[in-house]
C-alpha cells in the first residue's frame, strides 16, 4: 500500500506550488499514471482523500489520466501495446522489445489553484 | 481567481534524485550496492548468510542492511558471518526509500566496503517502485511459489538485473516447472540472467558470489526493458524540463564508520 506515500508526496508538492503562487486553495491536481507504474489508480485516489485532510488541498480533486504501456521493436521499429501482464516481445517479429516507450509515468502535470481575492 | 500551473514532475522525483546521488557517491568511493527483493519466506536471508560468509573467506569487505516491519532476527542471523550488519525497522512501512537508506548508512557504513547488500522488506509490490541507489537489483523467488509469479508481479521481476531461484533442491518434490517459469520471466524481462540456488546443497551460491564480484569490478548488469521508460517530469526525454529548481540540493557526503 505505497499509494499513501505517493499521495502524501503529491499533496506536499501541490501545497508547495500553492504557497509559491500565493494561492489559498488547490482545487485539482492532474496526474498521469502509466499502466506499468505499479500504482492502482483507485487506491491512489482513496489515499489522496486521506492525505489531503487539513491541507490547502482539503477540497481538491485528483484527476487521473491513465497512460497505456507501449514498447518499440528493435527489428521492425514498430511500436506495440504490451498489455497486462506485459509481453515485451514484438508481435510481428517475435523479438524482444528494444525499450519500453511509455507506461511507467507517475507524473503531476497540472495544479489548479484558487488565488486569494484582492 | 482560478489558475492552472503546468508542472510536469515525477511524483517519485525526490526519491529518484536522492538514489542517483547515493549511487554516484558510493560508486566513487568503491562501494557497489546490491538490493534484494522477494516475497516473505523466499529464503533471502538464508542465501545472504552464505554469500556474506563466502565473501568473508575471500577477504572481501562487505556489509548488509536488512529491513523488516519488526524484529531484529534477520540482523542477528546475518551478523554471524562477521560482516557489519544493520537492522532497519520500518515500523509497518511496506518498502524502503532512498532517504531512509541514506540515513541508516550515515556514520555506519565502513569506508572500505566493496559490496553493500540491502535486503528490502519481504514484499513484491511496493519496493519495486523505489530506486535505492543500487547498481544491481536482484529479485528472488523460491521454487514453491509458483511458475507464474513473474506475471503476477511484473514490476518486481521486470526491473530485475538478476533473478535468483531459491530452494532448488526441492524443485522436483514440488513439481516446479522450470520451462514455464523461464517463459513467463522472459515475457516481462527478456534475456535477464537467472541463477538457481540452494543453501542446503550449496548449488549456485558460488556463481552468485562471482556475479556480485564481477559487478563490483565494473561488469555492466543486464538492462531490463521496463526500466527504459520515463517516469515523467525532468526525467522525460524531450520533456518540457526546466524544473531544476525543484531538485533538492545534494546532501552532504556520507561519513564513514572507521
Q: Omega before B167 cis (within 30°)?
A: no
Of A13, A84, A104, Cβ closest to residue B9: A13
Give which of B195, B191, B194, B193 is closest to B225, Cα–Cα. Answer: B191
The answer to whether the CB of B63 falls within 8 A of the CB of B84 is yes
Parse chain A into domains and list their residue ranges: 1-68+103-118, 69-102
CATH architecture for the domain at B13-137+152-158+202-219 = 3-Layer(aba) Sandwich (3.40)
Compute CA distances A21 → A59, A110, A113, B190, whole Å: 18, 14, 8, 46
Q: How confident is the model at residue B246 (pLDDT cuts 50, 70, 90)?
A: very low
The stretch B127-140 carries a mean pLDDT of 95
Query: Does the beta-carbon distance from B226 to A86 stay under 8 Å?
Result: yes
**Where do we find the cell 507506461?**
A103
The answer to whether the CB of B144 falls within 8 A of the CB of B170 is yes
Q: Given a cut of 90, is residue B69 above it in pLDDT?
A: no
> What is the tens place of the pLDDT at every residue in A37-55?
999 899 999 999 999 999 9
In this prediction, the residues of chain A whose per-residue pLDDT falls under 50 are none
Q: pTM of the predicted model, to two decimals?
A: 0.90
**Burial class, A58, CB count within 10 angstroms (exposed 0-12 / middle 13-18 / buried 19+):** exposed
> What is the tens place of the pLDDT at every residue in B88-98?
988 878 889 99
E strand or H helix at B33: strand B32-37
Of A31, A34, A99, Cβ closest to residue B228: A99
The stretch B146-154 carries a mean pLDDT of 95
A73 annotated as a binding-site residue: yes
The stretch B94-115 carries a mean pLDDT of 94
Chain B residues within 8 A of A102 when measuring between CB atoms: 229-230
Backbone angles phi, psi at B197, to 5 degrees: -135, 160
- Nearest-Cα distance to chain B for A106, in Å, is 6
Q: How confident is the model at residue B237 (pLDDT cuts 50, 70, 90)?
A: very low
Measure the CA–CA gap between A65 and B183, rounded to whole angstroms: 32
What is the number of CB-based contacts under 8 A between chain A and chain B?
Answer: 140
Reading the block at residue B138, the C-alpha cell is 536482484
Chain A residues within 8 A of B186 when measuring between CB atoms: 89
Give which of A118, A113, A117 is closest to A57, Cα–Cα. Answer: A113
A96 annotated as a binding-site residue: no
Report the mean per-residue pLDDT for chain B: 91
The rounded radius of gyration (Å) of the Cα atoms in chain B is: 19
Of B4, B10, B126, Cβ closest to residue A2: B126
The answer to whether the CB of B98 falls within 8 A of the CB of B132 is yes
- Nearest-Cα distance to chain A for B75, in Å, is 24
* Cα four-point dihedral sign B72, B78, B80, B83: negative
Say what the pLDDT of residue B94 is.
Answer: 85
- Kindly report which listed range (A54-68, B32-46, B239-253) carries the lowest average pLDDT score: B239-253
Query: Does the beta-carbon distance from A115 to B97 stay under 8 Å?
Result: no
Question: Order of strands, edge to edge, in the sheet holding B2-10?
Answer: A61-67, A23-34, A106-115, B2-10
Q: What is the largest CA-CA distance in chain B?
A: 71
Residues of B with CB under 8 A from a CB of A: 1-12, 14, 93-95, 97, 125-126, 128-130, 151-152, 154-155, 158, 186-191, 225-233, 236
Q: Given a cut of 90, is residue B154 above it in pLDDT?
A: yes
Reading the block at residue B257, the C-alpha cell is 564508520
Say what the pLDDT of residue B258 is.
Answer: 62
Give which of B113, B115, B120, B75 is closest to B97, Cα–Cα. Answer: B120
Say what the pLDDT of residue B239 is.
Answer: 36
Q: Given a cut of 80, is residue B144 above it in pLDDT?
A: yes
Say what the pLDDT of residue A1 is.
Answer: 66
Reading the block at residue B231, the C-alpha cell is 517516469
The stretch B60-85 carries a mean pLDDT of 91
How far is residue B230 CA from its own chain's centroid? Answer: 20
Reading the block at residue B183, the C-alpha cell is 517463459
Q: How confident is the model at residue B242 (pLDDT cuts 50, 70, 90)?
A: very low
Say what the pLDDT of residue B118 is.
Answer: 97
Reading the block at residue A118, the C-alpha cell is 484582492
A76 annotated as a binding-site residue: yes
Task: Tell the CATH topology of A1-68+103-118.
Answer: hypothetical protein PF0899 fold (3.30.2320)
Amino acid at each position: 500500500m505505497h499509494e499513501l506515500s505517493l499521495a502524501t508526496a503529491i499533496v506536499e508538492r501541490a501545497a508547495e506550488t500553492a504557497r509559491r503562487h500565493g494561492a489559498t486553495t488547490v482545487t485539482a491536481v492532474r496526474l498521469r499514471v502509466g499502466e506499468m507504474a505499479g500504482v492502482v489508480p483507485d487506491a491512489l485516489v482513496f489515499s489522496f482523500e486521506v492525505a489531503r485532510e487539513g491541507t490547502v488541498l482539503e477540497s481538491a480533486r485528483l484527476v487521473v489520466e491513465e497512460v497505456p504501456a507501449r514498447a518499440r521493436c528493435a527489428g521492425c521499429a514498430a511500436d506495440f501495446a504490451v498489455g497486462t501482464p506485459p509481453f515485451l516481445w514484438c508481435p510481428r517479429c517475435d523479438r524482444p522489445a528494444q525499450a519500453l516507450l511509455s507506461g511507467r509515468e507517475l507524473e503531476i502535470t497540472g495544479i489548479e489553484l484558487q488565488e486569494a481575492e484582492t | 481567481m482560478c489558475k492552472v500551473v503546468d508542472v510536469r514532475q515525477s511524483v517519485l522525483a525526490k526519491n529518484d534524485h536522492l538514489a542517483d546521488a547515493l549511487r554516484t557517491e558510493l560508486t566513487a568511493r568503491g562501494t557497489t550496492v546490491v538490493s534484494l527483493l522477494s516475497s516473505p519466506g523466499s529464503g533471502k536471508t538464508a542465501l545472504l548468510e552464505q554469500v556474506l560468509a563466502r565473501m568473508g573467506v575471500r577477504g572481501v569487505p562487505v556489509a548488509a542492511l536488512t529491513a523488516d516491519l519488526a524484529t531484529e532476527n534477520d540482523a542477528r542471523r546475518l551478523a554471524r558471518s562477521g560482516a557489519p550488519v544493520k537492522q532497519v525497522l520500518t515500523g509497518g512501512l511496506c518498502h524502503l526509500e532512498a532517504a531512509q537508506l541514506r540515513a541508516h548508512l550515515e556514520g555506519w557504513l565502513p569506508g572500505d566496503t566493496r559490496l553493500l547488500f540491502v535486503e528490502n522488506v519481504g514484499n513484491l509490490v511496493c519496493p519495486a517502485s523505489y530506486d535505492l541507489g543500487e547498481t544491481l537489483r536482484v529479485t528472488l523467488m523460491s521454487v514453491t511459489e509458483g511458475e507464474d509469479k513473474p506475471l503476477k508481479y511484473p514490476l518486481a521481476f521486470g526491473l530485475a538485473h538478476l533473478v535468483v531461484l531459491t530452494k532448488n533442491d526441492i524443485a522436483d518434490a514440488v513439481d516446479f516447472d522450470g520451462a514455464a517459469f523461464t517463459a513467463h520471466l522472459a515475457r516481462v524481462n527478456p534475456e535477464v540472467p537467472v541463477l538457481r540456488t540452494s543453501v542446503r546443497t550449496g548449488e549456485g551460491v558460488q556463481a552468485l558470489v562471482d556475479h556480485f564480484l564481477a559487478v563490483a569490478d565494473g561488469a555492466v548488469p543486464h538492462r531490463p526493458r521496463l526500466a527504459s521508460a520515463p517516469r515523467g517530469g525532468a526525467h522525460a526525454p524531450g520533456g518540457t524540463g526546466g524544473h531544476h529548481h525543484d531538485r533538492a540540493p545534494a546532501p552532504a557526503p556520507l561519513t564513514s564508520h572507521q
